[in-house]
Structure 1
């Protein structure tokens, strides 16, 4: 059985696109040519790989299996090219990163800015995802690196701790929770309007889970797209919000915010990098992992 790398790459493009036409465009082929090559691949494997309808394409179980193998094969090919590249081990390549909200908005932009400025031939695809989706993506090979906060179940993956953050409660100055005489609990906050992040953010999903465990309801008055917007709403008295301490302290320097410690066991969050096999990563990805760990340890500035 002979596999053409171009066909495997085309199949991955189609699987990661909403339609065959868009996948073909990513592979610089016409839709007709792409369809013919996929049919030839199905004939060779004696398996149907895609369901096609007016809404787009969907992978069959056989297609899901092929996608996992194709991603691994193409990653190994990229590793081979990287090892023999004239530009050096970490100076070229592509890295796909799935990360939680805090990583995407708070520290990764600075880390990646310096990393990419020193490596013009490296490209990065950074996407915000939930922890469970990050774990799944690393396991099935759809992402190279995952960045998560808090405990995760990730059997079969390497979990590399690199820093610690805390969740705090941000309130407008003079808020009633400041006068409790003790650190508030999450339950103490449920009688007030909350400012939350957009649906799908890791932090918002995490908070909903904690509130559901209490048997309560999170009284969301507004949801916004960033920590900066959340802090501005809190400053204006729209509500209160649970935020990473790094974000809250940074915005406190330019906004009127009071920051309260929460009396909850889950406020300390360990940040970790997830990889399937560190030594199998391209050189640029391995270098980025080490840079993240150094930044987390305070060895270098982001």
Structure 2
């Protein structure tokens, strides 16, 4: 028994005619009749009641057709799956990421994904999480990193990472000798901050308002290298994710007395279509995160 025989059998059963089945299968009717006769001989049982006016399934044929439908459906599913894998030979992933994650979290992921799927195009948009959320809703991005707390009903998301936000100062700054810094101490300093709309700026604004403190923002820029240069030259301090200081020299990370943990998620439109390339990227991130957790154990 093979797929070709089952296909012939199903087509005859569906059309109720050897002639119509042969036309649908694009083969000669005598060849179809011979193939079915050999199939019945192989099974040692008749599958059809034959008459001049119609073709009817025998009891044995009725039993076989139930299995044949399932088998052929699975074959079709397999073909679709294989066709989708071929689709990974082309396509695009449009991803929105905040500056810090684009610089320190995603490079290894992006290079690893590109190595696995060299023909896919990766479009990386660096923006604040509020802008990323809007671009997701407008269909300008397929996937985007936003704060878990900012997830609207129209987006779905999966947790990406939780990272600590720390005060970042030059090694010569007085805070560098402290084990922690209070919000009052932090906001008493001149600050260099991202513009509003970036997740760390929005959170720091929230902390400032909650504790009824006033910010002294001396510099405001969306350029992370500029922020780091200003800190190193001791013109101001900032608050950044701890991962930044793990990768950058000439900086000191000082935890806040009240630890600040930010949870970030990768989101997409709830009613939007995620392409095969997008889903492959999501699976790649999950595998990467599992691998990192295993290494840290």
> What TM-score does the superposition give when structure 1 sets the normalisation length?
0.61
Deviations 1:101-150 (A, max 9, x none): 22222222332123223323212222223333333333343321011235
5+ residue gaps, structure 2, are 1-79
Residue in structure 2 matched with residue 6 of structure 1 by the alignment: none
Alpha-carbon deviation of 1:215?
3.0
Q: Distance in 1 between matches of 2:197 and 2:269?
A: 24
Q: Which residue of 2 aligns with 1:287?
A: 280
Contact conserved, 1:228 with 1:251, CA < 8 A, in 2?
Answer: no
Contact 1:91 1:121 in 2 (8 A): yes
CA distance in 2, matches of 1:134, 1:200: 9
Change (3 A) 1:292 1:278: farther
> Please, which runs of 5 or more residues in structure 1 have no aligned partner?
1-81
The equivalent position to 1:142 in structure 2, one of 140, 146, 168, is 140
**Counterparts of 2:131 and 2:224 in 1: how far apart (Å)?**
22
1:262 aligns with 2:259: no
The aligned length equals 215
SS of the aligned residue for 2:132 comes to helix
Counterpart in the other structure of 2:106: 108
Higher helix share: 2
Distance of 2:155 and 2:149 partners within structure 1: 13
How far apart are the structure 2 equivalents of 1:154 and 1:200?
A: 16
**Which structure 1 residue ranges, 4+ long, deviate > 6 Å from structure 2?**
none
Task: Tell me the distance in 2 between the aligned counterparts of 1:278 and 1:155.
Answer: 11
| Cα distance in 1 between the residues matched to 2:132 and 2:262 | 17
Cα shift at 1:288: 0.8
Distance 1:184 1:299 in 2: 29
CA distance in 2, matches of 1:250, 1:216: 31
Using the TM superposition, give the Cα deviation of residue 274 of structure 1 relative to its aligned residue in structure 2, in angstroms: 0.6
TM-score with structure 2 length normalisation? 0.62
Tell me the SS of whatever aligns to 2:91. Answer: strand
Deviation at 1:179, TM superposition (A): 5.3
Select which of 247, 266, 269 maps to 1:273: 266
Whole-Å separation in 2 of the counterparts to 1:248 and 1:87: 39
How many Å separate the matches in 2 of 1:114 and 1:128? 19
Per-residue CA deviation, residues 65-88 of structure 1 (Å, 9 max, x unaligned), is: xxxxxxxxxxxxxxxxx9785871
Cα shift at 1:189: 1.0
Query: RMSD between aligned alpha carbons?
Result: 3.0
Pairwise CA distance, 1:244: 0.8
1:93–1:218 Cα change, 3 Å: same
For the 8 Å contact 2:157–2:268, the answer to whether it is kept is yes
After TM superposition, list the pairs within 5 Å mapping 1:1-302 onto structure 2: 88-178=86-176, 183-198=180-195, 200-252=197-249, 255=250, 257-264=251-258, 267-277=260-270, 280-297=273-290, 298=292
